[in-house]
Amino acid sequence: MFNRRTLAIIKRELRVRLFSKTFIIMTLLIPTFIFGIIGIQAILYSYSGEENPKLVIISETEEVKENLEQEFSKLPFVKDGSFRITYEIIKAEKFNSRLNQLKTDLISENLTGIVFIPSSSLENKDVRYYSTNPNNISLFNKIKPAINSALVNIYFSGKYFSREDIDFAREDVGISGFRITKAEKVEAEGFGNMIMLFLFSFLLYMSLIFMGQMTMNSVVEEKSSRIVEVLLSSANSIELMTGKILGTAIIGLIQMAIWLLPVIVVISTSWFMLPPDIIFSINISFILYFLFNFFIALLTYVGLFASVGAIFDNPQDAQSGVWPLLILIMIPFFIALSMQANPQSPIPKVTSMLPIASLIVMPARMTVIEVPLWQLLLSIAVNIAVMLSVFPLAGKIYRVGILITGKKPKWSEVVKWLKYKY
């Protein structure tokens, strides 16, 4: 399967793909895309979507009104005038008539919302919000702390507590994590490894899809243009498929190594002084494992994508057949991201040792916890076994499908190709 002709095909793939504009653009674009997503997500999360919201806060007592004015005056968005708030004192039985008077302003969006704080809120903290947009969570997150502080101040007033005592009681507990390793070392844990979890998972996800799609489109293009018939005159189908897969995998490995260069520099040198909260508990050995695991993943998925490309002779039909492969990448990716809540939950723990899924889940899991050696070795053995089993199946599909044109084969026919003996 690997001989001089295979090596020539690998060289051809490297020459055609490695210095192509697509490879260079994607190498530069994907890291930019990742940081762009993080930035856009942060902006969208912090942006309320409204300019200068106007609120009317209605309470039943003067005491609540005074405390609300005091607490809201401390908020930066009230100080800079980006929020306009007016306060009223109305008894509960008169609130409905006041609400009817303000409905026109709410509907015309001259008024963002009405916050009604009945006297019973001092017992149950039940506050009502009236608006054409009653699910404005971004707005709620901004006003809830001030309302809660006002109610807490009133509740504890006159009960021998100073304002400093109340402010201390109101503060959330800060939890600092410390990792206990198998060597019984105690290491401070920041959120740097959570960043690495997202980064490594996203790089795997994007690269596998990009390399797989590139290989599939290349096979479809060669098949539809009949170039494959010329190539098959110099090498058989198995050699052609092997060379194409290995060539693409080498290209993907080079691209991933380029992406990881900044990470390698950060963890292996003292050139950069990171904040104490951003601590990376990864080392060069993990980077080497990650690249090895990524190479196995490339061989596996690129083989599957190449076989899909061999089945169809136009890109439109090929896209309809690639969805099962995309799902095999997407589901482990989402499982990997779910580990931000609890890396030791059963689903990530089990899937990190399952075929296909472990290619993405295990590297992500290793960034946040210390994985037992037997689980890591089992994951590697399973992945290699899957890769070795994919090659014969992909080879059978590729050998038959690469020369079939003009007719879209049924999946039942593809299953029959797998039963052929060569």
- Examine the domain organization and report whether 376 and 290 are in the same domain: yes
Examine the pLDDT at 376 and tell me if it is beyond 90: yes
Q: Distance (Å, rounded) from C-alpha 390 to C-alpha 387?
A: 5
Whether 370 and 348 map to the same domain: the answer is yes
Q: Tell me which amino acid residue 28 is.
A: L
Q: Which tokens is 421 given?
A: 């003996």
Summarize pLDDT for 212-249 with one digit per residue, the tens.
Answer: 988 888 888 877 777 776 777 777 777 788 888 888 89
Spatial CB neighbours of 213, under 8 Å, sequence gap ≥ 6: 305, 322
Of residues 159 and 15, more confidently modeled: 15
Asked whether residue 227 is assigned to any structural domain, the reply reads: yes
Chain position carrying tokens 């997500």: 41
User: Distances in Å between the alpha carbon of 304 and those of 139, 209, 328?
Assistant: 48, 11, 11
CB within 8 Å of 78: residues ≥ 6 apart: 72, 85
Q: Work out the pLDDT band at 30, boundaries 50, 70, 90.
A: confident
Residues 167 and 213 placed together within one structural domain of the fold: no
Q: What is the mean pLDDT of residues 375-395?
A: 90
In which band, very low, low, confident or very high, does the pLDDT at 11 lie, cut at 50, 70 and 90? confident
- List the CATH number of the domain containing 153: 3.40.190
Distance between CA 2 and CA 190 in Å, rounded? 46
Residue type, 349: K
Mean local confidence (pLDDT), 255-277: 74
- The one-letter amino acid code at 142 reads K
Please say which residue of 110, 144, 175 terminates a domain: 175
Cα of first residue to Cα of last residue in the chain, in angstroms, is 14
Quick: pLDDT tens for 346-356: 899 999 999 99
Q: How many helices (H) and strands (E) would you count in the chain?
A: 18, 6
Mean pLDDT taken over the chain: 80
Strands of the sheet with 113-117, listed across from one edge: 84-89, 54-59, 113-117, 128-130
Give 357's pLDDT tier (boundaries 50, 70, 90): very high
Q: Is residue 354 part of a domain?
A: yes
Q: State residue 72's pLDDT score.
A: 83
Q: What is the residue range of 287's domain?
A: 4-41+191-419
Give the whole-angstrom CA distance, residue 30 versus residue 252. Answer: 13
Q: For residues 251 and 306, state if they share a domain.
A: yes
